[in-house]
C-alpha cells in the first residue's frame, strides 16, 4: 500500500474552532487510510472533531488521531485513533498521549475500547485493582446518550477513571451505599473482538453490589493507586507567568483569546489579576492553572454532570476522592481559607483611603464574584480588603434591594448586574474612556435607557475612529431589538 511521505518529518494538522468532518478529511487527503478502514470494517467512534493529526512512522503517514476541544482549545479529548494494520505495535498511542501531556495538558479519552485500556495498563498510565476493574490516571468520558445505569440516571455525560475489562465498559460508582453504577454502552469493536455482550447478558444486581463493595472496602487503596499513577504521568509543569503572562504582558493563551474576540482586554486584565491573587493565596496549583483560566474565560459555566455524590464545594461539579483540584473550575480542593486570607493580606495595602467607592460599584464586583462561583468567604474577604466597606454594610445594601438571598443572587440581583454601568462599559469595550466619569454620567441620566446613555456620553467626544466603532456597535445592538 502506498503511503504519503513527509520528508521533513512534520505532521500535518487540521485545526478548527468549529467542526471538522473526519470522514471528509480522510477521503480527500488520505484515501489509502480510508480504504483500509473500510476493508477492515473498522467503525470510527466519532465523525467530527476539532483537531485532526497525522501519525507518522519513518516519515510516512500511517494513521491519524483526532480530538474534541472544549473551553476555547484548553482541554482536549482523544476521540479517534487509527493505525494501518501493518504498522501497529509501534507505541503510537503511548507517543501521542506522552507528547500531548508534555506539550499541553493531560487529555481525556472518549469511550475507550478494551484494547485502549489494556495499552494504558502496558504504558503505566492505568493499573488493575482487581482481575477485571482498572483504575486509570487518564480520564474516560462517555457521552450522555451512551450511558447506561442500573438505576435512574439523567441524560448526563459520564466522566470516570475506572473501567471493567469483563464487560468492556467505563464505569463509575454514583452511590456506593445504594450500589448505583453508571457504565458505558457496548462499542462495536469490543462486541466483535471481545464478545463483551456475553458478559453483559450475565450482569445482575449481584454484579453491581460486588463492584460497589470493592470501592467501599478499598476506597483508600484505590485512591492511592490513582494518585501514584498521576504522579508518574509526563505532564507539563506550568508556571504562573506561562499561563497569565508576566507583569504588563499577556500570555500566549490570553492574547490568543483577545485576538479571537473571545474576551475583551479589560476582562482579560481582570481574569489575570484574579488568577494571580488566587494562586498566591494557595487556591490554585500549578497543574490547575490552565483549567482555571479556561473556566474563567467560559462565562456560561454550563454544568455537564450533576448526579455524582461527591461534588466540588466551589462550582458544584463532580469530583473523585483522589482529586487534588477540581477539573472543572481548577480550585485546589485542599486549600485552607485561613492560610489564603493570611497570604492575601500581605499583598493588600492596609492604609485606609479617604475615597469611598460607590456602594453600587462594590455590590457589582461582589455579585460578579458570586456569579463566577467564587467561594462566599473569599468573595466577602475580597471586597472588605479591596474597598473601604465591611460585610455588614454590604449585606444591608443587598438586603434592602433584594439582590442577594441565602447565598444566591436573586432575579433582582441579576437584573442589577445587567443594568450596571460597568456591564455596558465592558460589553462595548469602552476602555479608551475614563470609567469613573462614565459612571457618574450614567447615574445622572438614569431616566434614559442604558444604550441611550452610552451613545449620548460617547457623542461628547471628538469623532475618533475607535469611538465611532463603539457607537456603531451600540447602534447595531439597538437595531436588533
Q: Are 105 and 235 in contact (CB under 8 A)?
A: yes
* Whole-number Å distance between alpha carbons of 137 and 7: 35
CA distance readout (Å), 154 to 8, 145, 365: 50, 10, 35
Dihedral Cα 330, 335, 339, 340, nearest 10 deg: 20
Residue 337: the pLDDT is 54
Burial 72-98 (b: 16+ CB within 10 A, else e): bbbbbbbbbbbbbeebeeeebbeebbb
Report which secondary-structure segment, H or E, holds 141. strand 133-142
Degrees, nearest 5: CA angle 431-432-435: 60
Please state whether beta strands 108-110 and 133-142 pair in parallel, antiparallel, or not at all (unpaired): parallel
Phi–psi pair at 360, nearest 5 degrees: -65, -35
pTM for this entry: 0.62
Helices of type H across 347-433: 359-371, 376-386, 391-401, 411-419, 421-427
Rounded mean pLDDT for each run of 10 residues along the chain, 481 residues in total = 74 85 95 94 89 92 89 69 93 91 85 94 95 93 89 80 94 90 91 86 90 91 88 84 88 81 80 88 86 79 52 73 79 69 43 53 90 83 79 91 92 93 86 81 89 88 75 79 49
User: 394 by DSSP, 3-state: which?
Assistant: helix
Show the cell assigned to 365: 464586583
CA–chain centroid gap for 341, Å, is 26
Amino acid at each position: 500500500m502506498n503511503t504519503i511521505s513527509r520528508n521533513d518529518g512534520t505532521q500535518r494538522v487540521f485545526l478548527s474552532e468549529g467542526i471538522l468532518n473526519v470522514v471528509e478529511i480522510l477521503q480527500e487527503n488520505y484515501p489509502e487510510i480510508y480504504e483500509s478502514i473500510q476493508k477492515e470494517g473498522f467503525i470510527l467512534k466519532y465523525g467530527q472533531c476539532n483537531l485532526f493529526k497525522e501519525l507518522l512512522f519513518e516519515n510516512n503517514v500511517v494513521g491519524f488521531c483526532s480530538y474534541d476541544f472544549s473551553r476555547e482549545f484548553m482541554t482536549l479529548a482523544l476521540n479517534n485513533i487509527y493505525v494501518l494494520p501493518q504498522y501497529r505495535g509501534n507505541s503510537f498511542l503511548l507517543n501521542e498521549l506522552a507528547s500531548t501531556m508534555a506539550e499541553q495538558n493531560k487529555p481525556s479519552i472518549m469511550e475507550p475500547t478494551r484494547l485502549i485500556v489494556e495499552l494504558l495498563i502496558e504504558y503505566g498510565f492505568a493499573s488493575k485493582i482487581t482481575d477485571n476493574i482498572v483504575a486509570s490516571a487518564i480520564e474516560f468520558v462517555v457521552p450522555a446518550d451512551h450511558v447506561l445505569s442500573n438505576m435512574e440516571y439523567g441524560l448526563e455525560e459520564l466522566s470516570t477513571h475506572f473501567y471493567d475489562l469483563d464487560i468492556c465498559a467505563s464505569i463509575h460508582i454514583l452511590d456506593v451505599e445504594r450500589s448505583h453504577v453508571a457504565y458505558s454502552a457496548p462499542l462495536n469493536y469490543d462486541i466483535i473482538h471481545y464478545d463483551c455482550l456475553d458478559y453483559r447478558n450475565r450482569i445482575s444486581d449481584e454484579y453491581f453490589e460486588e463492584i460497589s463493595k470493592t470501592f467501599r472496602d478499598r476506597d483508600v487503596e484505590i485512591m492511592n493507586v490513582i494518585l501514584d499513577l498521576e504522579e508518574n504521568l509526563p505532564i507539563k509543569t506550568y508556571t504562573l507567568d506561562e499561563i497569565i503572562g508576566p507583569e504588563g504582558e499577556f500570555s500566549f493563551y490570553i492574547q490568543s483569546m483577545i485576538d479571537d474576540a473571545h474576551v475583551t482586554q479589560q476582562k482579560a486584565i481582570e481574569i489575570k489579576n484574579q488568577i494571580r491573587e488566587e494562586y498566591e493565596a494557595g487556591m490554585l496549583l500549578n497543574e490547575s492553572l490552565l483549567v482555571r483560566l479556561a473556566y474563567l474565560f467560559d462565562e456560561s459555566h454550563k454544568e455537564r454532570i450533576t448526579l455524582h455524590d461527591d461534588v466540588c464545594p466551589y462550582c458544584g461539579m463532580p469530583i473523585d476522592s483522589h482529586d487534588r483540584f477540581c477539573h472543572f473550575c481548577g480550585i485546589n480542593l485542599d486549600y485552607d481559607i485561613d492560610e489564603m486570607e493570611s497570604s492575601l493580606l500581605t499583598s493588600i495595602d492596609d492604609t485606609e483611603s479617604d475615597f469611598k467607592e460607590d456602594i453600587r460599584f462594590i455590590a457589582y464586583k461582589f455579585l460578579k464574584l458570586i456569579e463566577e462561583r467564587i467561594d462566599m468567604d473569599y468573595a466577602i474577604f475580597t471586597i472588605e480588603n479591596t474597598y473601604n466597606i465591611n460585610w455588614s454594610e454590604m449585606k444591608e445594601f443587598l438586603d434592602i434591594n433584594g439582590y442577594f438571598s441565602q447565598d444566591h443572587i436573586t432575579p433582582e440581583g441579576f437584573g442589577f448586574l445587567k443594568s450596571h454601568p460597568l456591564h455596558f462599559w465592558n460589553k462595548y469595550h469602552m476602555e479608551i474612556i475614563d470609567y469613573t466619569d462614565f459612571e457618574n454620567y450614567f447615574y445622572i441620566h438614569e431616566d434614559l435607557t442604558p444604550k441611550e446613555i452610552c451613545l449620548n456620553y460617547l457623542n461628547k467626544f471628538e469623532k475618533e475612529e475607535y469611538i465611532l466603532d463603539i457607537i456603531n456597535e451600540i447602534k447595531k445592538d439597538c437595531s436588533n431589538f
